[in-house]
Amino acid sequence: LSRFPSPNPYHMDDALADRWKKLFAIREEINQTLEEARRKKQIGSSLEAEVVIKASRKQLALLKEYESFLPALFIVSKVGMEEGSDEATEEMSVVIKKAPGEKCERCWNYQTTVGENPNHPTLCKRCSNVLDQ
């Protein structure tokens, strides 16, 4: 049984750690909204969801840096972003919708690209490309 290595203080990046702390706080808020949508029977699993985040320009700048990674971080099929109207507050709002498209049999994400590849009619474009390679 090995112990996890301790971080080397010379390689610590406080700015990166701060960004991820903010991303995890946003994730926590999204998880609460997803749970509420589940209770209301709007969605079954979180992968059935599209999350639309309305946030301040500062928060959106952070989210845009990680835009391609956000669906995986939030465990949803799609993430949309809109700029909020009031820059003075750091509040954000989260709206949960049914994700568009069909469920991919490989990754279970709901994508509009499912069925585009005739060689893999039940898979999304990303999964089809992986299998074709």
Q: What is the pTM of this model?
A: 0.84
Q: What is the mean pLDDT of residues 115-122?
A: 95
31, 76 Cβ separation under 8 angstroms: no
Report phi then psi at 61, rounded to 5: -60, -45
Residues 6 or more apart whose Cβ sits within 8 Å of residue 124: 101, 104, 106, 107, 109, 111, 113, 114
Report phi then psi at 122, rounded to 5: -110, 10
In tens, the pLDDT along 67-108 reads: 999 999 999 999 999 988 665 566 789 999 999 999 999 999
Q: What is the mean pLDDT of residues 110-116?
A: 96
Q: What is the pLDDT of residue 89?
A: 60
Angle at 56 between CA 20 and CA 97, to 5 degrees: 85
> Quick one: pLDDT band at residue 118, thresholds 50, 70, 90?
very high
pLDDT > 70 fraction of the chain, expressed in percent and rounded: 95
113: exposed, middle or buried (C-beta count within 10 Å: 0-12, 13-18, 19+)?
A: middle
Q: What is the pLDDT of residue 10?
A: 84
> Quick one: pLDDT band at residue 51, thresholds 50, 70, 90?
very high
What average pLDDT does the chain have? 92
